[in-house]
Amino acid sequence: MTLHRLAPRIVTANPLLTLSGVTRRFGTLTALDEVSVEVFPGEVLGIVGESGSGKSTLLRLMNLEDAPDAGVYSLNLPQTPGNLFALDRFDRRMLCALHIGIVYQNPHLGLRMGHSSSGNVAERLLIAGERRFSVLRGKGQQALEASEFPLERMDSPPSELSGGMQQRVQLAKAIALEPALLLLDEPTTGLDVSVQAAVLDTLKGLQRDRRITIVIVSHDLGVIRVMADRVMVMRHGRVVEQGLSDQVFQDPQHPYSQQLVQAKL
């Protein structure tokens, strides 16, 4: 039995991201069952849960790649409508390019593997309307630098890069326009341990310097522990527990969270 938590009183800012009552069905399967989330500006929210818990479906909705069966999504930004799910395809694409960055586990989803790395980053800027070559090149380079990508490789296509470097190109593309919201879908899964630590460190540094609001999905609790201020535990399309990271890891309340934390090496 836990106490009901009150609404924020010290923090007076509105949440940057609000999802309420989001349901997504695939045929007879309910992938998300009335999920509600709030993320405050500058906060890092970690989402954990087993495969099929709905965590990646939720992230895809936040990136407006998919539409739910019910629910409302809003970002507290100037000139954005109350429900982003109601946007048409063109506005959705523009909003994502300007305000949301994403890094996928699988770089093929986020990058054109045969184009140059700098071209991949510049594509983001092109969508946003930038046409001057020098600006495209300069901003692309800045973003690659901030992602700690070796600039001497910026003209190599991702297909010729290592896994860790491909993730850095994705990250550069994601942050090129200084988005309000950065979504990370298993960003370091499949990388070897030292590369994973270096990529996480880059992410942590970026978050510290720019105060980007981040939602990170991972089944790796170590990654979430390092990155997240707050954790949300999902199971069967529902949020079973949420709390400050150290609380969820040290004093998990829900039977499933307890199982999950105990299973950590």
Partner 1 sequence: MTRVLTAEALTKNFVLHHLSQSLPAFRDLSFTVDAGEFLLLRGPNGVGKSTLLRMIWRSYLVDAGHLWFERPDGVIDLARAADVDIAVLRRGEIGFVTQFLIARPRVSAEEVVAEPLRQAGIADPLPRARAALETFGVRPDLWRACPATFSGGEQQKVNLARALILPMRLLLLDEPTASLDAGARKALLARLADLKSQGVAMIGVFHHPGDVAHLIDRELTLKPMTELSNVAV
* Residues of this chain that bind partner 1 (CB under 8 A): 1-11, 40, 43, 197-198, 200-201, 204, 226, 229-230, 242-244, 246-247, 250-251, 253-255, 258-259, 262
Q: Which is nearer to partner 1, 38 or 66 (CB)?
A: 38
Q: Which is nearer to partner 1, 12 or 28 (CB)?
A: 12
Q: Other CB atoms closer than 10 Å to residue 97's CB: what's the count?
A: 19
The least CB distance from residue 157 to partner 1, in Å, is 28
Cβ 35 vs Cβ 208: under 8 Å: no
The least CB distance from residue 1 to partner 1, in Å, is 6
Q: Distances from the Cα of 242 to the Cαs of 109, 161, 231, 249, in angstroms?
A: 29, 37, 6, 11
Q: Which is nearer to partner 1, 35 or 232 (CB)?
A: 232
Q: Other CB atoms closer than 10 Å to residue 183's CB: what's the count?
A: 24
Q: Which tokens sit at 68?
A: 């739910």
Q: Which tokens sit at 93?
A: 């694409």
The least CB distance from residue 74 to partner 1, in Å, is 18
The least CB distance from residue 199 to partner 1, in Å, is 11
Side-by-side strand order, sheet with 17-26: 29-39, 17-26, 70-75
Largest CA distance in the chain: 60
Q: Which is nearer to partner 1, 25 or 254 (CB)?
A: 254
Q: Which is nearer to partner 1, 162 or 258 (CB)?
A: 258
The least CB distance from residue 49 to partner 1, in Å, is 17
